[in-house]
Structure 1
């Protein structure tokens, strides 16, 4: 036998064993079941599954762990913690416990409320119960630098910390601000209980555990905080005066299960009420609608000015002021004095709905009748047709917003507004970059000039923090129609562009939003000052914005209409599935990589396919200011309107990735630990005086990535043991695919991440258009260099020359094994075996001869017996030198198709006990679909009937009958034909 290079080929095909590492850290319930999603308010546990430790009788080990929310900056960092085997002896299931030798599991709170005994301030969302000390930070939030005025993170070292609205967004500059230190009530900063931070609905919590007893054991996990969509309804839709007991009470109902944090307590959620929003010019205020209320916080009647403190998560339960004829604290706005009751100069807008039961997640507020609602708002009397708008915004998730309206007396004269596609069809969901926004208005009152096309103005608002606010002029579609439509689409863009960074600008006739946001449009049937309209869309919201309402006879101050849409969102990690993976240098998915290998990162994020006609890029450092160069960034500029940054340690320290990836220098907590990397055990990356500074010759630790990039990025790959890392820029694999792959691969070993065998490499992704959308994955660096290496593929197959055979046919079987390319034959015991449908051997071969001129191909032929069982036959090949290398092919044996039946053969005839009726089939060997034989005696009486299917014969047992002659009638069926035969049979 000729075996050219046989030994080398066999060795090349062998698969070497890889590492048997089984250190699995994860978020769990008390029983050790892995969690993918958790509810705010839930207590969770940290578990490690390590069968090797369990098998070795190890009942306890120590580890470092970190849990963090990259969006809010909340984190838990604990070194030298103990994990006990509480899943049963030998189970290998370990839990984080409070101390060595303890059986008390450490429970981690996923958010809470400040204080269930105080109302409403105690309902504020915080990190944890007051008696728990696990969580740190958690008060970080991006804020527009034009809007921000003050020093919320206390960089100057002076007290109190403050925050105030300065201007409206214009210059595309932002700061990631730490609001820790602001008090709950927000009256006089620093005088009440301070808020540390919180975890937001839909955020992703990341876990990293590093075994102190084995440096190779590092693992990660993540869990998604449940986010439900709130629903607001108000009944009745039309209210009236003077109906007394017959009037239906005005009830606000809010359904939002993720606000049910404590199943043992009645909880409260805030909602807001504004009468005829947007229909008047405030005298000394900039607030007349919900979005301006959220931005400025309300009106302070004592100072006769707006509070200019945005409503955010930390103060949404705040009742910051009183006065203006009110003896209670609340939030107020300045209405026209003619609307308000005597003695009142402002109207109340803030209320709190109570949970209907301790575990319902449904909240209600009963205003009573119309007169009682009027009094609650501070009104003298509601005019006919007045529109009263109710707004709910989730206090811990501002992209979750809903609204509803009711009308006084009637709503049949109201205008209508719609958000539509380009064809005018109303929509409920829109995608950033896909088609934009279109607005349609029906209002006969706005059809002032029957001979010309009129114009109207709509207000588009996204109330998610300082998201966009636009007043758009739209035209009547034709003379005298009363129908108005945006003939040109309004661009829907991301607040954070995946390449260009921060983009928010008011009054540019483009709408910037986040994925998952709620956008609504409001139409007021009023005219506006021409001078203000002429400046709309100029990108400068600090002049003539919002436009003032003109004194026009056609104004209907009561006529206000709304429409809203949700912005499409796709989660890379949705609590169940990771749409993210590592690829090797050949773009093949891998779960382990050798030191000599290289890695790509692939992320599927369909909402980042923002332009279906463009192959797009996600810049790994998308968190930069768009207006000016990114310098490691800052918390604020030296002066609003200036692009000159405060380029110093403190300014750089508290933005972008803090505190998870920048702990050095002074921060809001006063830390100066020198750690610049909370994620990596022991803080492997250390800080220089500030980010980006050239490394000294004696400094072996690096802030910068392996290519010198400062550590303020949002998409990166890093070695969890060493802290070496690199930013990942992701390019879409094809136009419209939504699948993004890193533009470069990262070397795993020397010259790259400097990994050693057993190291853990992790990759991190944060969506620029939804900062809650975070994913982390990990991969092990294999020991010995052979793990996860896929040997060259050797073609191995077994193929029949046909897929279907009849009994008696000749079969040809070809074995392809390139391992033996060049060999004249393959020899071995039962190297090829032919099996019938029941797995029984039909025949076998000990030698396969090569096919001439086709190296690596070997062929045999065989004639199937006429008696072969119908069904699947299998040819199985086994490499005689490596019996684990096998291949098989299959074909089917079927009966021949019956074309004709020439007659019936009976044998024996005569018979004693039984005889067989066999069809004379054409072609030979064919079978009938059905044979039916009916037996009669000579008087014509039926004495027996036998039948069979898919057969050529049936047998009759007539041994119980008397001797003599009998008549048979045979009916043979096949396909669409039937044959009938008659004759005698003798016993």
Structure 2
């Protein structure tokens, strides 16, 4: 009762407001909004609603959904309880486990299957949701090449028989969204002591993924909104010491220690955790007898060699089985479960046909994120790998790939003995080594340089070598490329033509992955590495390289074991990361709505229209071309295929009829889009919580009625599924957004057309059929990095003049420093997002003016150039005159809207006096007057006080002169007779105050 009494006076004012204070978000326990979260961390779901708090509402019911668009993981819960736990009247509500409860529901963002079971229990899973009595769902899907699933050529007449295995290399640019959930994650052979029961694949979150939250208030249909949080992603570092090992050093030998620093693998600060790493000796330098695996990328694609079956496992290593030890070895590894590859028998211990490649490094301490494995000395390493002995020069390669984030990969090598090795570099077109490369036809591609004097076989002509270029992220690209010697007898080999580096998913054409086409298809953020082996290959297999068909039995090329140059021990590497930016980086959304005048807005009138603008600098893939991002980029080369191609589908004809089982038009994108069988009035998404709407039955994305109308078409009759779209959360109406770059090389993309908010004459027909108070959301997924996801929302005004006034956009002026000296260069930066994407701000009325403290104009500009790579920022520079001191003010005025102004101030002051070298009259010989000038340091420093005493040669004082805050004192000696005079000067100044004094001569001559 007391609470109602306190708040009753506020009720009238509250009722006059809108319900737009409804703000759901991910939070910490104190209710503070968070933008990033570490995997394994627990977060809370909060809602800030001042109106409910002011009205004394203690709790309310809402529907919520949380989803990961990259992995398909989601959680949905209708009718959950939100209770005000931020204090009475605070309007801060938390998701709690029951009505009247103070127990907040905690949402765990990822975990491990079982921390106590090593290694298999270390597999990444989705975690739990305490207090909700529910679990995460899905999360175990990814796009997989259909040649890999079903062979080459892919059978177009029937669905793919989906499994986890490898069949063929990518060739036909066909892909399917495969849900691995429920598949057997581990295939065991032999049942040795390390054998484990096969487990079923479960879902996961990946580092750098974006989790989206949508909450719908059941008590007010206007209250639907979103939030998102970014899973922290760190770049791993791998070191192996010592870098060179030898036999015969006895106790003096250093132990071989593998150290992996990967903070995002520290999921629980109270547990010792483990990460896998792989070891291959002389990778790529031999032809296996019955296997196809002799390097890391082949190992990742095929999973290892099963010596019991005398065949490769053909089970790609993915997140769900990277911790598995699926097969037993033989010989010294009899009964030992791990992963193995087939080496030449002469390299291994007698009776052993395989070498071990998989090991697990333990965290050095709970919460350290640093993992180590100690192999012991060279003999211990030799035994661990199953080798008989390492010949001098042997290269041992250690590979680490983040078990939950395969774009994070690194490697290190050590060498046995001290034999000369080749060197390999990824470079720019000028041969300068680089560590970062950019995807896109306009950035020049990859260049590879190899130094190997041993490959210089023919002194009179140019030789050739072969390098292997690989991106181990999922089943990404693998290419063997031929390099020519740059000149006769040089031993330097270089890809003098750029090797195209292109996206796996083109922003217009969709899926592009092909092995052996001499083009690299990759994702932003991926690790790309090059391996060089100082060996010769058979000419027949070299002749087939680059033909776009890796399934022709000539890929990879076979080593010519009989060649004179076959230095199997000489292996060298180079690595580079693919440039990446995030539209939502955990703190800032580089994405916004624009109205019909291209002005940024966060509310829109019912009569308005909306554009979408996205700043995604890594989608600027050709700096000389204005590019397009097609909103339905999730398609492959088979135009007639619908959905994920793993079940029989109905082809969309573009003319839906009553009862049509319409299917999605591209590769599925769970959890937002998919059609369950049987199709029809089924829920086809998990994005829209059901509740609190005008007609709560079947209100889902695009679902507006039963059967014929419930086809999930866009307002322009586009079938699902798409990747960039705008959507009314209350009505389920949506439209695909195609984005065109605003200018060549800008990286700023704007929708090619606008979307009408509503049309009362034809609601839903070419418009979103919005009502006042509705929430419109826009969704974006980067085709070149599927973790790069962003969602924003805007409210439809409920009327009134305030509802159609565009909000103030970011506007500011800043100096590069707060304090200057006379003569300094001043840099002034104007931030005005109204002009984001423009090359300059131009106006005849001087948009930028620099003034002194008394208002005098120092400088002005009619053109303010844009800052490259920083949309919305514009910059000028100016050299201050030597006589300017005090406060200076930069005033910016929007050249189109004079009421939009901003200003900044800085201080100009002379430097502090530190020394005085002399005071001299100028001129020294004069007739009437002269000026005594102080020579002060530093330049521009001004004394506090200057005193000049002038005497004739008899010692009589004829003048005493003073000046304050000046470097010159004038003297008029016109009444004195000709001759020499002595002057004594005293200068005071500095901080702390110092005094300097000396004397000199001055002469009057008429």
TM-score (norm 2): 0.74
2:768 aligns with 753
Q: Aligned partners of 1:291, 1:593: CA distance in 2, in Å?
A: 51
Q: How many residues are paired up?
A: 808
1:653 and 1:304, CA in 2 relative to 1: closer, same or farther beyond 3 A?
farther
Q: Deviations over 1:141-189 (max 9, x none)?
A: 0100000149xxxxxxx9x984211110000000111010124434399
Q: Secondary structure at the match of 2:720?
A: coil
**How far 1:655 moved relative to its partner?**
4.7
1:532 and 1:873, CA in 2 relative to 1: closer, same or farther beyond 3 A?
closer
Q: Deviations over 1:544-574 (max 9, x none)?
A: 1000001212110000000010000010011
2:643 aligns with 633
2:526 aligns with 517
Q: Which is greater in Rg?
A: 1
1:76 aligns with 75
Q: Aligned partners of 1:233, 1:890: CA distance in 2, in Å?
A: 49
**How far 1:659 moved relative to its partner?**
2.6
**How far 1:696 moved relative to its partner?**
9.0
Q: Determine if the alignment matches structure 1 residue 29 to structure 2 residue 28.
A: yes
Q: Aligned partners of 2:95, 2:255: CA distance in 1, in Å?
A: 52
**How far 1:134 moved relative to its partner?**
2.9
1:417 to 411, 424, 433: 424
Residue pair 2:281, 2:394 contacting (<8 A) in 1 also: yes
2:818 aligns with none
1:361 to 361, 364, 369: 369
Q: Secondary structure at the match of 2:214?
A: strand
Q: Deviations over 1:826-868 (max 9, x none)?
A: xxxxxxxxxx9999xxxxxxxxxxxxxxxxxxxxxxxxxxxxx
Q: Determine if the alignment matches structure 1 residue 216 to structure 2 residue 228.
A: no
Q: Determine if the alignment matches structure 1 residue 169 to structure 2 residue 170.
A: yes
Q: Secondary structure at the match of 1:338?
A: helix
**How far 1:112 moved relative to its partner?**
0.2
Q: Aligned partners of 1:614, 1:545: CA distance in 2, in Å?
A: 35
2:597 aligns with 586
**How far 1:353 moved relative to its partner?**
0.4
Q: Aligned partners of 2:396, 2:791: CA distance in 1, in Å?
A: 46
Q: Determine if the alignment matches structure 1 residue 538 to structure 2 residue 547.
A: yes
1:289 and 1:224, CA in 2 relative to 1: closer, same or farther beyond 3 A?
same
Residue pair 2:483, 2:494 contacting (<8 A) in 1 also: yes
Q: Aligned partners of 1:55, 1:568: CA distance in 2, in Å?
A: 48
Aligned-residue CA RMSD in angstroms? 4.2
User: Structure 2 unaligned runs (5+)?
Assistant: 1-15, 152-158, 190-194, 650-659, 760-765, 809-851, 856-884, 890-898, 906-927, 929-942, 967-983, 989-1006
1:971 and 1:123, CA in 2 relative to 1: closer, same or farther beyond 3 A?
closer
Residue pair 1:663, 1:673 contacting (<8 A) in 2 also: no
2:673 to 649, 661, 665: 661
Q: Aligned partners of 2:211, 2:67: CA distance in 1, in Å?
A: 6
Q: Aligned partners of 1:680, 1:354: CA distance in 2, in Å?
A: 42
1:733 to 731, 738, 742: 742
2:609 aligns with 598
Residue pair 1:663, 1:678 contacting (<8 A) in 2 also: no
**How far 1:888 moved relative to its partner?**
13
1:559 and 1:760, CA in 2 relative to 1: closer, same or farther beyond 3 A?
same
2:89 aligns with 90
Q: Determine if the alignment matches structure 1 residue 378 to structure 2 residue 386.
A: yes
- Greater alpha carbon shift after TM alignment, 416-425 vs 701-710: 701-710
1:246 and 1:638, CA in 2 relative to 1: closer, same or farther beyond 3 A?
farther
1:572 to 583, 586, 594: 583
Q: Secondary structure at the match of 2:575?
A: strand
1:601 and 1:654, CA in 2 relative to 1: closer, same or farther beyond 3 A?
closer
Q: Deviations over 1:620-651 (max 9, x none)?
A: 000000x2215433234889xxxxxxxx9799
**How far 1:450 moved relative to its partner?**
1.1
**How far 1:418 moved relative to its partner?**
0.7
Q: Secondary structure at the match of 2:454?
A: helix
Residue pair 2:23, 2:48 contacting (<8 A) in 1 also: yes
What is the correspondence of 1:181-220 to structure 2 with a 5 Å cutoff?
Answer: 181-187=182-188, 192-220=198-226
Q: Aligned partners of 1:508, 1:687: CA distance in 2, in Å?
A: 51
**How far 1:722 moved relative to its partner?**
1.1
Q: Determine if the alignment matches structure 1 residue 342 to structure 2 residue 350.
A: yes
Residue pair 2:214, 2:227 contacting (<8 A) in 1 also: yes
Q: Deviations over 1:101-155 (max 9, x none)?
A: 00000000000000012111000000015987331110010100000149xxxxx
**How far 1:872 moved relative to its partner?**
10
Q: Determine if the alignment matches structure 1 residue 280 to structure 2 residue 291.
A: no
Q: Aligned partners of 1:890, 1:534: CA distance in 2, in Å?
A: 67
Q: Aligned partners of 2:487, 2:662: CA distance in 1, in Å?
A: 59
Q: Deviations over 1:519-554 (max 9, x none)?
A: 000000000010110010000000110000012121
1:838 and 1:372, CA in 2 relative to 1: closer, same or farther beyond 3 A?
closer
Q: Aligned partners of 2:83, 2:696: CA distance in 1, in Å?
A: 32
1:275 and 1:873, CA in 2 relative to 1: closer, same or farther beyond 3 A?
closer
1:733 and 1:95, CA in 2 relative to 1: closer, same or farther beyond 3 A?
same
**How far 1:57 moved relative to its partner?**
1.4
1:802 aligns with none
Q: Aligned partners of 1:348, 1:472: CA distance in 2, in Å?
A: 29
Q: Aligned partners of 2:390, 2:310: CA distance in 1, in Å?
A: 24
2:570 aligns with 559
Q: Secondary structure at the match of 2:535?
A: coil
Residue pair 1:322, 1:328 contacting (<8 A) in 2 also: yes
1:484 and 1:698, CA in 2 relative to 1: closer, same or farther beyond 3 A?
closer
What is the correspondence of 1:570-969 to structure 2 with a 5 Å cutoff?
Answer: 570-625=581-636, 627-629=637-639, 631-636=641-646, 655-662=667-674, 664-665=676-677, 674-682=682-690, 699-750=708-759, 751-784=766-799, 786-790=801-805
Q: Aligned partners of 1:266, 1:292: CA distance in 2, in Å?
A: 31
Q: Secondary structure at the match of 2:52?
A: helix
**How far 1:664 moved relative to its partner?**
3.2
**How far 1:665 moved relative to its partner?**
2.5
Q: Aligned partners of 2:739, 2:398: CA distance in 1, in Å?
A: 42
Q: Aligned partners of 1:442, 1:535: CA distance in 2, in Å?
A: 25
Residue pair 2:325, 2:339 contacting (<8 A) in 1 also: yes
Residue pair 2:611, 2:753 contacting (<8 A) in 1 also: yes
Q: Aligned partners of 2:804, 2:707: CA distance in 1, in Å?
A: 38
Q: Secondary structure at the match of 1:360?
A: coil
What is the correspondence of 1:300-339 to structure 2 with a 5 Å cutoff?
Answer: 300-325=306-331, 326-339=334-347
Q: Determine if the alignment matches structure 1 residue 247 to structure 2 residue 250.
A: no
Q: Secondary structure at the match of 2:398?
A: strand
Q: Secondary structure at the match of 1:148?
A: helix
Q: Secondary structure at the match of 2:612?
A: strand
TM-score (norm 1): 0.76
